[in-house]
Structure 1
Amino acid sequence: MTATKEDWKKDFYKNGVPTEVIIIEDTPPLSQQISQTTNTHIPTNSIRRTQPTIPNLLGPPAASTRSKRIRKDTPKNNLPPPPPPPPVKRRKKDVTLLRRPPTTAVIPSPASCDDKDGHYIIKPNESLTPRYKMMKLLGQGTFGKVVECYDRVKRTFCAIKIIRAIPKYRDASKIEIRVLNTLKEHDPINLNKCIHLIEWFDYCNHICMVFELLGQSVFDFLKANEFRPFPIHHIQQFAKQLLTSVAFVHELKLIHTDLKPENILLVDSESVEADNIEGVDPKSRVLRNTDIRLIDFGSATFEQDYHSNVVCTRHYRAPEIILGLGWSYPCDIWSIGCILVEFLTGDALFQTHDNLEHLAMMTVVLGKIPAKLIKASSFEAQKFFKEGKLRYPADDTTKQSRKYVRALKLLKYIIDPQTNAKAQFLDLLSKMLVYDPSLRITAREALRHPFFMMRFDDLGRETEEN
């Protein structure tokens, strides 16, 4: 039976409101039903929903799994539409239809994870991510925090370095990741004892780097041991590992630039009382295991990359940096020399925070600074000298500074080479703590020094094999 134009209009306008026309694949074309009303051609294989120009004020139409919204290029029918409703009502209706259902879930803002300085707020026994559970804070620096975490996937503990959510620290961390990946790529089984990056991820605007969980730093062990010195055979083992790490780093065209006891981690911090160990305070504790790892490559610099004017933590800063002569691989060797003296004495060799005082300390311990280095120093560093001599003490130098500098001794008296081991140790240091960086021994050369050929028994005494 063919529908008339009047019947179709009745169906289209029910109760004065237009209804939708649903067209599906097995429905005859609308043009056959209203042959005299419109010239619109609708392909029989299309599945579309035609929407009248008047919005449906009674709510959304009944759902149809095979219907789709009409395309914009579909011709409209020729029926005159009723006047549209007020714009305000339409906006309210649209908002109501598009509004998402309410939820009771609380989604924290990334900002709520940080303190005012951009550090991630550590909450022990809570999750950092679904995989990692935070256990305790291990350390904090200007870069961020290091946290002990439990890895729920591997079922092991690890250390995660969480970088501050500040652009300059995020950028620096990406350089560190590049360096760490280079180290791991060239030494996958870690023969050179540098820290290995397990993985990294970006969480709430914090770069997070996952590492093996190690023991405390050598500095923390010294502090816990009331800054009592290490036995000479332990210093030998530390020095050999540290020089091996730095030689490897240098061969990759990298300069660490921040070598210090805080950046040397013990693999195992377990210690025992010092019983009859040569040259060690009986009240001291000694390590069972002297294995170490070199860490913190956040300041490491490739030789071809930009070199900032000042690098290295103050106590371990080489003279060429203070004098503005530029720096390269030898600055790491100077830092190692300062570290090894600290291992023997328990105290930093150059405890200062002032450039002039620092240079004065160097002259007391190591002798005068060569004239050619003074002449080549930067304009800023020239103010420390007058007619080739160090201007110390200056008019504003404190009595405390003068007293401290006068109390220092020559390196040979600090080491006190009464044994063959200490004599060899002093000779090694005298080649590392050289003012002129071009004359300073390299890490690979240092490893061939006779000091590393010496043999000791378990009590730190030299054996007859030497």
Structure 2
Amino acid sequence: MYALEKPQNFHRGTSFSLITRNGDDRSETSDYTSEDEGTEDYRRGGYHAVRIGDTFKHGRYVVQSKLGWGHFSTVWLAWDTQKSIYVALKVQKSAQHYTEAAMDEITILKQIAEGDPEDKKCVVKLLDHFKHSGPNGQHVCMVFEYLGDNLLTLIKYSDYRGIPLHMVKEICFHILVGLDYLHRQLSIIHTDLKPENILLLSMIDPSKDPRRTGAPLILPSSKSKIVSESEVSKDAKASCSDLTKNQKKKIRKKAKRAARKCIGKEEADQDIEVSSPEASHRDDKSNGEPSEEKSRNSVGENSNNDEANDASEGSRGHKRGSRSARQKLLAEVELKCKLVDFGNACWTYKQFTSDIQTRQYRCPEVILGSKYSTSADMWSLACICFELATGDVLFDPHSGDNYDRDEVALGGRYSRDFFNRFGDLRHIRRLRFWPLNKVLKEKYEFREQDATEMADFLVQILDFVPEKRMTAAQCLNHPWISVGPRQLAPSMSENGGSDKKQETDEREAMEVRVGNMAIDGAKNGKDSKSMASPLKQ
């Protein structure tokens, strides 16, 4: 059986570690945790400057608010004036390699949609795609069905204490349906499966869902064009050909300031028509101009998307209210979900890169630079399942005194860097292994039966040998999942984070006691620092 490294002193909230090699992460030092994408990439080849009230595809899609951003694109809530529905509008950067990546994504999304006409496969639907020209170039745009919050937001609603196991099972059921469809029928590997890329069909808090609240729509009612900074700069440049270099530099700065003021004034003067969703179809003809039109907000505004690093279409970053209110919302949440963000997806027979997956969900073969296939997604699924149930990431890469967070605890193409000729780790010593079922029972206070059953499910996916991992189809037939989502019922007592018998003050008191034990241990010269903790057979 697999085992995790057991830290000498532990408490809830301290995650295990699997040292990994490179790529994206969600650490506090990562630039991906930024609330917005900044302004640096709003340039030729970069982002398109989308503003509230802008229209796309000859006025069909009207931007309502910002949903998120990624290093390839920004994502916006938009109103489809033809179908009178909300949609998620993804606007790609305009450089050639971003365009090529977008076209690959569209090819995959079309294949997904064509194979699922009844919309039962738990994968996001591409509704439309087109190209949009702007000051920074030509941008590929994709229109998706509008979904709800992502699973990371769900985890946050639980205060990182985990959600009840019957909810975990139901969510995993839907994820597995999606993966089974992708893997078996389409030979598609998602390659970046994580909580941010799995969206509920609706918002956790109904009051935040524009589809339920009847929130007023923003529809442009005039055809005046906002003056862009580039246009002002161009006019200034033409009028100063006889000036010195310094004079030209000063004038360019003034032109940029003037452009910002001009844009601000134009925005203040814009007539933004507010309409209800029910009445919007009557205003279709007023939206005939292509985008660069009405706006209220600046390029940098967004909705503070929770971990918005991958342009997750459904996350909002809204305040979640009191704990009792959050618990009530969690108890009533609709758990159907879909896989989203296929910007890094590939086929088993056509792969674009060896560097895939976000750190915390990255499988050993990818860490090693070895071949990978659909089983890579299954490893990520197991990590997500653990995180949903406990509130903690299963693996949290970090640095040590004589190794960095990019080292791996397995052999392979990079093994000479990490292992000596005897097969021993060069930089990591004194690993203390801790079976997964005991981790769930001792650290997270699961009932013994729940811990045993969940561990039995997870360890068959967390196999170092990719070919030995359970497939999505096999997981759907595993006893831990196979009862089906609508028949699942909560245990009398589930994990420590969800057990109603355990009050907050008791938990906090326990953590204080454990913390005091750790301090006492440190004073006695014991090593209380959790080391990197790989899995091991």
Paired position in structure 2 for 1:321: 366
State the secondary structure of the residue aligned to 2:438.
Answer: helix
Paired position in structure 2 for 1:308: 353
Cα distance between partner residues in 1 of 2:470 and 2:63? 44
Paired position in structure 2 for 1:255: 189
Q: For residue 330 of structure 1, report the CA deviation from its aligned partner.
A: 1.0
State the secondary structure of the residue aligned to 1:445.
Answer: helix
- Scaled by the length of structure 2, the TM-score of the pair is 0.55
State the secondary structure of the residue aligned to 1:250.
Answer: helix
Residues 458, 246 of structure 1: alpha-carbon distance in 2 compared, 3 angstrom cutoff? closer
Q: Does 1:348 find its partner at 2:393?
A: yes
Paired position in structure 2 for 1:160: 89
Q: Which amino acid aligns with 1:195?
A: V
Cα distance between partner residues in 2 of 1:231 and 1:158? 31
What are the Cα deviations for residues 272-316 of structure 1, in whole angstroms up to 9, with x where unaligned? Answer: 9xxxxxxxx967521520010101111111111135222111111
Paired position in structure 2 for 1:93: none
State the secondary structure of the residue aligned to 1:146.
Answer: strand
Are the aligned partners of 2:438 and 2:451 in contact in 1 as well (CA < 8 Å)?
Answer: no
Residues 131, 353 of structure 1: alpha-carbon distance in 2 compared, 3 angstrom cutoff? farther
Q: Does 1:384 find its partner at 2:414?
A: no
Residues 441, 358 of structure 1: alpha-carbon distance in 2 compared, 3 angstrom cutoff? farther
Cα distance between partner residues in 2 of 1:411 and 1:392? 24
Residues 250, 198 of structure 1: alpha-carbon distance in 2 compared, 3 angstrom cutoff? same
Residues 186, 354 of structure 1: alpha-carbon distance in 2 compared, 3 angstrom cutoff? farther
Residues 223, 121 of structure 1: alpha-carbon distance in 2 compared, 3 angstrom cutoff? farther
Q: For residue 357 of structure 1, report the CA deviation from its aligned partner.
A: 5.9
State the secondary structure of the residue aligned to 2:480.
Answer: helix
Paired position in structure 2 for 1:120: 48
Are the aligned partners of 1:265 and 1:293 in contact in 2 as well (CA < 8 Å)?
Answer: yes
Q: For residue 381 of structure 1, report the CA deviation from its aligned partner.
A: 3.5
Residues 385, 447 of structure 1: alpha-carbon distance in 2 compared, 3 angstrom cutoff? same
State the secondary structure of the residue aligned to 1:451.
Answer: coil
Paired position in structure 1 for 2:128: 199
Paired position in structure 2 for 1:149: 78
**Which deviates more, 151-160 or 257-266?**
151-160
Cα distance between partner residues in 2 of 1:128 and 1:202? 9
Q: Which amino acid aligns with 2:438?
A: Y
Are the aligned partners of 1:259 and 1:316 in contact in 2 as well (CA < 8 Å)?
Answer: yes
Q: Which amino acid aligns with 2:53?
A: N
Cα distance between partner residues in 1 of 2:488 and 2:419? 49
Which gives a bigger RCO, structure 1 or 2 (Cα 8 Å, sep 6+)? 2
Residues 459, 115 of structure 1: alpha-carbon distance in 2 compared, 3 angstrom cutoff? farther
Paired position in structure 1 for 2:203: 269
What are the Cα deviations for residues 111-139 of structure 1, in whole angstroms up to 9, with x where unaligned? Answer: xx954671121211232341111111100
**Of residues 360, 380, 389 in structure 2, which corresponds to 1:335?**
380
State the secondary structure of the residue aligned to 2:357.
Answer: coil
Q: For residue 346 of structure 1, report the CA deviation from its aligned partner.
A: 1.0
Are the aligned partners of 1:217 and 1:261 in contact in 2 as well (CA < 8 Å)?
Answer: yes
Are the aligned partners of 1:319 and 1:359 in contact in 2 as well (CA < 8 Å)?
Answer: no
Q: For residue 410 of structure 1, report the CA deviation from its aligned partner.
A: 3.9
Cα distance between partner residues in 2 of 1:284 and 1:156? 28
Q: For residue 391 of structure 1, report the CA deviation from its aligned partner.
A: 2.0
Q: Does 1:217 find its partner at 2:150?
A: yes
Q: For residue 413 of structure 1, report the CA deviation from its aligned partner.
A: 2.7
The unaligned stretches of length 5 or more in structure 1 are: 1-112, 273-280, 364-368, 395-401
Cα distance between partner residues in 1 of 2:188 and 2:428? 37
What are the Cα deviations for residues 72-111 of structure 1, in whole angstroms up to 9, with x where unaligned? Answer: xxxxxxxxxxxxxxxxxxxxxxxxxxxxxxxxxxxxxxxx
Paired position in structure 2 for 1:297: 342
Residues 460, 357 of structure 1: alpha-carbon distance in 2 compared, 3 angstrom cutoff? farther
Residues 392, 186 of structure 1: alpha-carbon distance in 2 compared, 3 angstrom cutoff? same
Are the aligned partners of 1:357 and 1:392 in contact in 2 as well (CA < 8 Å)?
Answer: no
**Which deviates more, 211-220 or 298-307?**
298-307
Aligned sequence identity (%): 29
Q: For residue 184 of structure 1, report the CA deviation from its aligned partner.
A: 1.0
Cα distance between partner residues in 1 of 2:436 and 2:404? 17
Paired position in structure 1 for 2:476: 447
Q: For residue 421 of structure 1, report the CA deviation from its aligned partner.
A: 3.8
**Of residues 453, 466, 471 in structure 2, which corresponds to 1:437?**
466
Are the aligned partners of 1:314 and 1:353 in contact in 2 as well (CA < 8 Å)?
Answer: no
Q: Does 1:227 find its partner at 2:262?
A: no
Q: For residue 420 of structure 1, report the CA deviation from its aligned partner.
A: 3.3
State the secondary structure of the residue aligned to 1:389.
Answer: coil
**Of residues 383, 395, 411 in structure 1, which corresponds to 2:436?**
411
Are the aligned partners of 1:163 and 1:173 in contact in 2 as well (CA < 8 Å)?
Answer: yes
Q: Which amino acid aligns with 1:241?
A: H
**Which deviates more, 448-457 or 298-307?**
448-457
Are the aligned partners of 1:322 and 1:381 in contact in 2 as well (CA < 8 Å)?
Answer: no
Q: For residue 217 of structure 1, report the CA deviation from its aligned partner.
A: 1.0
Cα distance between partner residues in 2 of 1:149 and 1:385? 52
Are the aligned partners of 2:192 and 2:358 in contact in 1 as well (CA < 8 Å)?
Answer: yes
Q: Which amino acid aligns with 1:429?
A: L
Aligned length: 320
**Of residues 482, 491, 495 in structure 2, which corresponds to 1:461?**
491
What are the Cα deviations for residues 393-423 of structure 1, in whole angstroms up to 9, with x where unaligned? Answer: 39xxxxxxx9xx97x9542233225253442
Q: For residue 427 of structure 1, report the CA deviation from its aligned partner.
A: 0.6
Are the aligned partners of 2:157 and 2:326 in contact in 1 as well (CA < 8 Å)?
Answer: no
Are the aligned partners of 2:76 and 2:88 in contact in 1 as well (CA < 8 Å)?
Answer: yes
Residues 309, 200 of structure 1: alpha-carbon distance in 2 compared, 3 angstrom cutoff? same
Task: List aligned pairs for 1:8-19, cutoff 5 A.
Answer: none
Residues 353, 263 of structure 1: alpha-carbon distance in 2 compared, 3 angstrom cutoff? farther
Q: Which amino acid aligns with 2:56?
A: L
Q: For residue 263 of structure 1, report the CA deviation from its aligned partner.
A: 0.4
Q: Which amino acid aligns with 1:203?
A: H
Are the aligned partners of 2:79 and 2:85 in contact in 1 as well (CA < 8 Å)?
Answer: yes
Are the aligned partners of 1:195 and 1:294 in contact in 2 as well (CA < 8 Å)?
Answer: yes
Q: Which amino acid aligns with 2:111?
A: T
**Which deviates more, 134-143 or 122-131?**
122-131
Cα distance between partner residues in 2 of 1:296 and 1:142? 13
State the secondary structure of the residue aligned to 1:210.
Answer: strand
Q: For residue 228 of structure 1, report the CA deviation from its aligned partner.
A: 3.0
Are the aligned partners of 1:199 and 1:209 in contact in 2 as well (CA < 8 Å)?
Answer: yes
Cα distance between partner residues in 1 of 2:448 and 2:339? 29
